[in-house]
Amino acid sequence: MSFTHLFSEGKLGDLDLPHRIIMAPLTRSRSSQPGDVPNDLNAEYYGQRASAALIISEATQISPQGKGYAFTPGIHSKEQIEGWKKVIEAVHAQDSLIFLQLWHVGRVSHSSLQPDNGLPVAPSAIAPEGQAFTYEGMLDFETPRALETNEIPDIVEQYRQAAVNAKQAGFDGVEIHAANGYLLEQFLKDGTNHRTDIYGGSIENRVRLTLEVTKVVTDVWGGDRVGIRISPTGTFNTMSESHPQSLYHYLIEQLNPFNLAYLHVVESFAGSTSNDFDFTALRKKFNGAYMANGGYTGELAEQSLANDKSDFVAFGTLYIANPDLPKRLHLGAQLNDADPDTFYGGDAKGYTDYPSLAG
């Protein structure tokens, strides 16, 4: 198959990209401990994948409170900033670009991962189903503590400072993580937000925190260097929403004045999507570039671009196993299979030892 559209040049904010293949954020849980610090192995991993038109980093906690998984990196300490500089240097050495994904997990955490062993925070005291990945192994999620209204400005400040730290580290931009059941989505969706203050109830109120975060992050970076990730139909981490089309159309209308570089949309999870949600209508409402994500193959990505359903396509699992994914797609070469047993935690095995065509 010819990938004419996939390998055409594209505009993302004020950046000119050589093609439309984006490396999606991928949690791999291999940061150095103590301190959640990016390391030389991480730099090698990202450097191997620098033929992506843009790399979006793994989800990165904006504060100690924002942490929800063992061995994941942060962007709130000097050591972490210095660690990320190694990663950025490896990517920039190959003339590629990398954005940092800003992450607060909210309730998807465990007290053993939190400062002073406190409870995770959330819009409402509603526990998710499942277990947290901790240093002691998998532990049942706890019922989180509902944030007080007067605590929310501190959450916004955590995002602002993380955006400043990302710029200091040398990233090319940032992505606000408002998807996959983490804190911002917990505020957005009515299944997790039962608040009665100005951050709960109506769609306008539930969107408020995401807009406040977007404002402070774009104040630091400018809209051209900021993207946002959403998952309107996502149920991962026990999420639900009664009126997703109305919620996300309103959110996009309110985001448009920030002139964001892109909207990163998780359209499906594990190969399934909602037939009731109109992603095309969502795309038409957004003023910037639309980045599709969710089980795409090269062929499906080409079709999406050719049919004007997206501007860029982000690949996740394929990038784990294929560091030179653009080259393989361009040549029609066979793709490596990913090993799910090595996705999270560990060492170089299943991380930097996937072969490239040159290797």
Distance of CA 324 to the CA centre of its chain: 21
Whether the bond into 153 is cis, omega within 30 of 0: no
- State how far the Cα of 203 lies from the Cα of 191, in Å rounded to an integer: 12
- State how far the Cα of 322 lies from the Cα of 297, in Å rounded to an integer: 13
Burial degree of 14 (CB within 10 A; 0-12, 13-18, 19+): exposed
Single out the catalytic residue among 159, 182, 199, 351: 182
Q: Which two tokens stand for residue 317?
A: 């699992």
Q: Tokens 């570089």 identify what position?
A: 261
In DSSP terms, 27 is beta-bridged to none
Contact by Cβ (8 Å): 246, 254: no
Whether residue 135 lies in the annotated active site: no
Torsional class of 35: left (φ above 0), alpha (ψ -120 to 50), beta (otherwise): left
Residues annotated as catalytic (active site), given as ranges:
182
